[in-house]
Amino acid sequence: MSFVTVGALAIALLVFIPFIAHLLQRGGRAPVDFSLARLVKPTAKLATRKSRFDDRILFAVRALLLTTLALLGAAPLVRCNRPTLTRPRGASVALAIVLDDSASMRAHVKNGKARFELAKHTAVQLISQLHEGDVVTLVLAGQPARMLVGATPQLGLAEQLCTNVKESDRSTDLTGALDLAENSLRNLPQGDRRVAVLSDLGQKVDKVYANLWLPLPELATPVQDCGVVTASERTNQVEVTVACTNTGSNTSRKLSLVPAAASGMRPLSLPITQRLESSRNVQTVVFKQVPTGLALTARLDDSDDNPSNDAAPVFGGVIGTVVATLSDYTTARPATGGPPLVEQALAAVGRQLIVRPWSALPEDEHSYSDVSLLILDDPSTFGPEVRAPLVNWLSRGGVAVAFLGARSVSDQLGVSLFPFLEGSAVWSPVDGLGFDPASLKWLGAIGTSWSDIHARARLEFEQAVPAAATVRGRWQDDRLAMFESQLGRGLTWTIGLPASTNISDLALRPALLALLDRVIETARHRGLSPITIVGHAWKTDAHDHFKVTGPEGAQVPAGTPAGVAGTETWYTPTLSGIYKFQLDGDVQLRIAHVEPDEIVEPPNSALITETQRSTSVPSLLELSPQIVASILALVLLELLARSGTAWLTPIRDLFHRLKSRRSTR
């Protein structure tokens, strides 16, 4: 509070002046000269009582008047809890509101209210404070960041859209949202541009943004939260993944399997409760010997700041991205033993991967039904029996990676490496070459680890590369080493070197993990996986009859929010849970879950500090018009009280009546 504010508020001390005057007047009225006073009978009791009543009204009015004047002097310097859009430049404002609708915003922070409800209410308040000439942008920070309405002067429309925003289980995409908000304000004529961030800041932001404003810093207050991410059942065994914040929220909490609410089952008699490990943020709890065919729910006992994620239905299918591998165990295994290097790399890369080693490529399409990614290590050429289901699977959105070696060279008729190569290739020895690091920049800094793999041979396939292929890597002698090619909705990666350590150190370098991570993510988003993270779309071929039933039983007609573009149909889940897809009569169960990091990641305190330090716009409330109106009303009231008291007669009568009734009792 500044000195000016204190000085203005000190005016309120003047309220003692009418108080003292009132006390003085209570001692006796000012005498009126009257020569014939000896003829007047005194009525002192009644007179004193009435004067006291009148004086109280006048005193109250004058005291209120002075207090209001003091407030007027202090306004708009009075800080208010209500987030207020000030106009230090006095001109129009371009305001971008970033409203976080991610899963972490469901946590409760203040007065039992969820972060999201507070944020939405504040967003509506901010929009209501905009005037004609202002523009507003609404950006939602749930994954993926979306622009709800972009730089519009139609404030009523923006307010209505903001009111209709619903909470979701999406991950946080704060960076994307801030980019969208910043871009939307870039070319606007308003000099005063601000980005109001209504988020718990549950994501690290590397970039520095200007004009950030946190109207509700309390949204970033750390919470204690444990949530069930996924729960799946497979062969009498239920695996439940639980994520907890690192603030001790998982201490002594228990996880239980209970019948689903709508199943009408009796309580299970098995030991179905396990205690969480307090040392891990993300852990998988396994319940064994669970009867099959039951509708179950995994539930955390006790409660925390976010009760919405304390329970999740147990998914009866496979949870995870199925990765099929085809390797020659004789050459692909390391000298130290264990599974082939590709399988070991897959185990190191990601969660929720189900690795399914194949000894040979299947000749039926059904084997590809739940496969999202296929990795081939030095495969032999494909005959027509295996090529057809492979191509069909790829066309529907499959992703395949082929590490080609000496077996890929064949002169037999009817066999080829299509869809990886469209012609013949030559296996030729080289003298300790590596990949050109400049061509592997898309892998980041880790791509340089493939610069010294000391290859002793390689597959030269320049003549067999499809026309639309994208080169992803070259040898140090500038020959083609790796490319990516589209086939239908599918994708193929072709690398001219096998994973075997007998040929090179390719599989021993971290760049392989980076490559696998990338293709796994690509496979997940291609839509063939029955599991996805909330906010990531499921894509499929266009269907005439496409209907989705969400976790809350809502029927989602095709097109909203599912979309159709060309030959593709996609649907983006906004809530975690099990979804039932009906595609031309075929029914599939899929599951969308919350990103574990959405629960684990603490608020970005650095961004809070940086924003509060750089923000020069204080959150002040402009109350002057209301105060001036109050002063005018009080002045009018005082004039009425002083001009005549006939209008006070009913009040006075009521006062006396009440008082006499009280004394009678």
Contact residues for another protein, defined by CB under 8 A: 28-44, 46-48, 50-51, 645
**CB 630 to another protein: min, Å:** 29
Q: Which is nearer to another protein, 33 or 132 (CB)?
A: 33
CB of 650 to another protein, least distance (A): 16
Closest separation in Å from C-beta 14 to another protein: 28
Burial 223-241 (b: 16+ CB within 10 A, else e): bbbbbbbbbbbbeeebbbb
Closest CB to another protein among residues 58, 295: 58
Which token pair is 264? 């009408």
Q: Which is nearer to another protein, 82 or 659 (CB)?
A: 659
Q: Are strands 371-377 and 321-326 parallel, antiparallel or unpaired?
A: parallel
CB-nearer residue toward another protein: 3 or 34: 34
Of residues 501, 346, 495, 335, the one with CA closest to residue 421? 495
Whole-number Å distance between alpha carbons of 108 and 106:
6
Coil, helix or strand at residue 347? helix
CB closer to another protein, 31 vs 90: 31
* Residues sharing a CB contact under 8 Å with residue 582, sequence separation 6 or more, in sequence order: 545, 546, 547, 548, 549
Instruction: Give me the residues paired with residue 152 across strands.
Output: 136
Minimum Å gap between C-beta 646 and another protein is: 9
| Nearest approach, Cβ of residue 49 and another protein (Å) | 9
To the nearest whole angstrom, how small is the minimum distance from the Cβ of residue 656 to another protein?
Answer: 14
Q: Which of 343, 350, 296, 361 is nearest to 320 (CA)?
A: 350
Q: How far is the CB of 47 from another protein (least distance, A)?
A: 4
The nearest distance, CB 214 to another protein, in angstroms, is 59
**Which residue type does 143 have?**
Q
- The distance of closest approach from Cβ of residue 60 to another protein in the complex, given in angstroms and rounded to an integer, is 19
Nearer to another protein, 20 or 46 (CB): 46
Closer to another protein by Cβ: residue 41 or 665: 41
Shortest Cβ 41–another protein spacing (Å): 6
Per the document, the length of the chain is 665
Nearer to another protein, 428 or 660 (CB): 660
Q: Are strands 546-549 and 455-460 parallel, antiparallel or unpaired?
A: unpaired
Neighbour tally for 314: CB within 10 Å: 25
Cα(231)–Cα(593) distance, integer angstroms: 9
Other C-beta atoms lying within 10 Å of the C-beta of residue 195: 25
User: Where do the H-state alpha helices sit in 368-414?
Assistant: 384-395
Task: Write the CB contacts of 408 (distance below 8 Å, at least 6 apart in sequence).
Answer: 378, 379, 380, 381, 417, 421, 425, 427, 459
| Residue 35 or 616 having the CB closest to another protein | 35
Residue 641 Cβ, how far from another protein at the closest point, in Å?
A: 13
**Whose Cβ is closer to another protein: residue 51's or residue 256's?**
51
> What is the torsional sign of CA 531, 537, 538, 539?
negative
Q: How far apart are CA 315 and CA 286, in angstroms?
A: 14
Give one word for 454, left, alpha or beta, with left for phi > 0 and alpha for psi -120 to 50: left
Do 514 and 506 contact (CB within 8 A), yes or no? no
Q: For residues 29 and 545, which CB has a smaller minimum distance to another protein in the complex?
A: 29
Q: How far is the CB of 128 from another protein (least distance, A)?
A: 49
CB of 61 to another protein, least distance (A): 18
Nearer to another protein, 43 or 111 (CB): 43
Shortest Å, Cβ 644 to another protein:
9
How many Cα atoms occupy the beta-carbon half-sphere of 341 within 13 Å?
Answer: 24
Q: How far apart are CA 480 and CA 428, in angstroms?
A: 13
d(CA 341, CA 333): 6
Using alpha carbons, select from 345, 341, 323 the residue that is nearest to residue 332: 341
Considering the complex, state which of residue 26 and residue 407 has its C-beta at the smaller distance from another protein: 26
Long-range contacts of 125-131 (CB under 8 A, 24+ apart): 125/82, 125/83, 126/83, 126/85, 126/95, 126/97, 126/196, 126/215, 127/97, 127/155, 127/158, 127/159, 127/162, 128/155, 128/159, 129/84, 129/85, 130/85, 130/93, 130/95, 130/155, 131/92
Q: Could you give phi then psi for residue 371, rounded to 5 degrees?
A: -85, 135
Q: Tell me whether residue 52 or residue 79 sits nearer to another protein (CB atom).
A: 52
Which residue, 47 or 629, is less far from another protein as judged by CB? 47
> Closer to another protein at the Cβ: 32 or 360?
32
407-435 burial, b at 16+ Cβ within 10 Å, e below that, comes to bbbeeeeeebbbbbbbeebebeebeebbb
DSSP label at residue 593: E
- Cite the beta strand spans of 224-272 per DSSP E: 226-233, 237-244, 254-259
- Phi then psi dihedrals of residue 218, to 5 deg: -70, -15
Q: In a 3-state reduction of DSSP, which class is residue 342?
A: helix
In the complex, minimum distance from the CB of residue 54 to another protein, in angstroms, rounded to a whole number:
8
Task: Find residue 212's DSSP bridge partners.
Answer: 195
